[in-house]
Amino acid sequence: MRILKRGLTFLLALCLSIAGIATVGSTPAAADDCAFDWGLIGCGVVWNKAPLAVQIANDWCFDRSDPHTKNGFQGDAPRCGSTVDLPPDHNSKEYFNDTDAFRAFRGCITTVQIGLFGTPTTYNRWTDTSLWIKVYGEDPTLIVTDIVCGGPGPRTPAGGGHHPPIDPDNPDSDTGGGNNGGSAGYDYYTVTTNGVTVGAANPDCANYPSGTTCAPGIDTINTGDRFTPHCQKSGQSIGQNPYWVYGTTSHKQTGWIPSWWINYPDNVLPGVPFCQGADGVYPNAPRPERKPAVIVGNDGNLQAFARGAANTLRYQWMDRTNGVWHDYGALNVNVAGDPAAVVGSDGNTVVLTRGTDNTLRLNWMNKDNGIWSGSLTIATGIAGDPAVMKDNQGNLQAFARGTDGTLRYLWQNRTNGQWSATMTLNTAMAGDPAAVLGSDGNSVVLTRGTDNTLRLNWMNKDNGIWSGSLTIATGIAGDPAVMKDNQGNLQAFARGTDRTLRYLWQNRSNGQWSATMALNTAMAGAPAAVVGADGNSVVLTRGTDGTLRLNWMNKDNGVWSSSLNVTGDLSGDPALVRGSDGNLVTLLRGADATLRMHWMNKDNGQWSGSLALANDMA
């Protein structure tokens, strides 16, 4: 019944709310003193639809413009103005019966509106102190639509990006503290310099973090990258700071960095728990998101690759004649991140991975006997997951983010198998690339910039010269996917900063890109896309609730469907392929660390149940 009431609250409140918000003026709703116990009339409700957490309070103290004075108790906690950090895609009814205030943090721009059709109001605290704002009115349902941080300020010098928990015992200090057990998993920090090495999350490092025990590095982050802390503990002193922090980078790598490099003035981070447990890691810290690779081999069998729990490259294949999967085992070790795979022009399968030593590695399978090669290093200084494709001449092309934040490119000559040296195509890159061969024969690679733009580089098939970087979209927060539709037009997908699935397409006749449109909401991770056997475009995404969602585009009129839930309980991004029989197959990581497969029957569009292929995925 509670879930039903919350759903009705959201639906009705969005339609009925007409009240306003202000920092002074009308009387706020008294805490726990509103008409209904599940909130519509008179009860303050805050929905957080922003990509970051927002702090809320359950009371407003009437003798001053701050909800944290100690002049009596009117809320549902033993202090005036109990506060919590409200995570993205959550509402305040999960914490308070009545919410009377929210906080616009210093160094951030917070945008809110009343109800679905309310006028947006922006609180720009880019260079100012944090500010508490009342939530009041007869129908006070407020939606936080966006939070953008990174402005200079006493708390976040040189463009930091953290939502600091408030100290309830000293509300004007803005020096942190928090009274809700910390906000790990929602807040993030930046670092003070470029080239900070993220150490491996191994038992020795977790027991005593140091430059030796945490080697080798698994990632490198720069000043524009986000680092989300999960827990902290003491270890080797770096710069007179003895603390290290375990967290996840914006590149989806989880490991350790010295607290000295984090953009915060004190040694200990406020609101971040201390690491505990047998392996020294905070038990509630989320596992990194993972994405397998799946392709159709030269013989028509499906081939699947994924990173195993022991940092091995796992390989499995499905016999297309009977649908039975076979586990080949590990192809190499010391793998970081996710693989990329392709069938070469000679019919041999090639898989690329990043090593824990930041090398780009290649393994290949002989199509005639199914035997795999050993691991070959083809590039160094690689910090992200690779993308690989065949160009119009049949040569392999590989792309990956370098440790210096550039887009690195190299290619293999199909006649002699030799790989070129790496070259830089663009700079200030975030995340991982996506590549495709256009209908004109030119190679196209998409990347996300550190400024949340979607960028395109293309190579002229006639002379091999690469273009400069072209911005084709803004407001992009995740790694892109790109493909050709049944007409030969390029279609691109990525998660927006508002957590929507963004879509745009390029007209192959004139090269022009469309504006972006939103296909669904509450998206996490990165999408996967393919053209189905019927010619319709299909894109899969993971929702913030762990569901696998499908959208498809009618090839005849270009109209996209609404979002369909395929399955749930996921913790990784989907990989998608059209099998040799025309059925769609997706592989993904379950919340229980299993590698799962689902497939869609091309004849009736029905999806299968879940089949577990392996149970020890990273």
Reported as half-sphere exposure (CB side, CA atoms, 13 A), residue 100 has a value of 26
DSSP 191: B
* Range 410-434 average pLDDT: 94
- Which of 251, 210, 202, 257 has the alpha carbon at shortest distance from 229? 257
Model confidence band, residue 252 (pLDDT cutoffs 50, 70, 90): confident
Q: 482: which strand partners?
A: 492
Q: 84: which strand partners?
A: 56
Reported as half-sphere exposure (CB side, CA atoms, 13 A), residue 373 has a value of 15
The CA R_g of the chain, rounded to the nearest whole Å, is 25
Q: Are 337 and 305 in contact (CB under 8 A)?
A: no
The pLDDT, as a whole number, for residue 233 is 82
What are the structure tokens assigned to 528, written together?
Answer: 């996967």
- Which of 309, 381, 371, 384 has the alpha carbon at shortest distance from 339? 384
Q: Assess whether pLDDT exceeds 90 at residue 529.
A: yes
Residue 92 φ then ψ, to 5°: -70, -20
Phi-psi region of 456 (alpha: psi -120 to 50; beta: other; left: phi over 0): beta
Residue 282 φ then ψ, to 5°: -60, 125
Q: Are 271 and 317 in contact (CB under 8 A)?
A: no
Separation in Å, CA 24 to CA 59, 139, 199? 15, 17, 48
Average confidence score pLDDT of the chain: 79
What are the structure tokens assigned to 486, written together?
Answer: 């049944």
64 or 341: which carries more pLDDT confidence? 341
* Range 11-27 average pLDDT: 36
Residue 302 φ then ψ, to 5°: -75, 140
Q: 600: which strand partners?
A: 584, 607
* Range 88-108 average pLDDT: 79
**Rounded distance, CA 211 to CA 233, Å?**
14
* C-alpha torsion 544→383→270→123, nearest 10: -60
The pLDDT, as a whole number, for residue 451 is 84
What are the structure tokens assigned to 115, written together?
Answer: 């109800």
What residue ranges do the domains of the chain occupy? 2-149, 184-286
107 or 594: which carries more pLDDT confidence? 594
* Range 481-491 average pLDDT: 97
Model confidence band, residue 512 (pLDDT cutoffs 50, 70, 90): very high
- Which of 419, 467, 458 has the alpha carbon at shortest distance from 435? 458
Q: Are 448 and 480 in contact (CB under 8 A)?
A: yes
**Rounded distance, CA 341 to CA 223, Å?**
31
What are the structure tokens assigned to 362, written together?
Answer: 């290649």
The pLDDT, as a whole number, for residue 217 is 83
Digit-coded pLDDT (tens) for 288-335? 557 999 999 999 999 999 998 778 999 999 999 999 999 988 999 989
Sequence-distant (6+) residues with CB within 8 A of 368 are none
Residue 254 φ then ψ, to 5°: -115, 125
Reported as half-sphere exposure (CB side, CA atoms, 13 A), residue 389 has a value of 21
Q: Assess whether pLDDT exceeds 80 at residue 39.
A: no
Residue 5 φ then ψ, to 5°: -60, -40
Residue 207 φ then ψ, to 5°: -75, -45
Most confident option among 232-236, 237-241, 509-513 = 509-513
The pLDDT, as a whole number, for residue 230 is 80
- Which of 475, 470, 489 has the alpha carbon at shortest distance from 518? 475
For 203, the enclosing helix (H) or strand (E) is helix 203-207
What are the structure tokens assigned to 340, written together?
Answer: 């990329």
In Å, how far from its chain's centre is CA 227?
12
CATH class of the region 184-286: mainly beta
Model confidence band, residue 438 (pLDDT cutoffs 50, 70, 90): very high
Instruction: Name the 3-class secondary structure at 595.
Output: strand
Residues in the chain: 618
Q: Assess whether pLDDT exceeds 60 at residue 220.
A: yes
Q: Is the dihedral of CA 312, 214, 219, 247 positive or negative?
A: positive
Q: Assess whether pLDDT exceeds 70 at residue 44.
A: yes
530 or 542: which carries more pLDDT confidence? 530
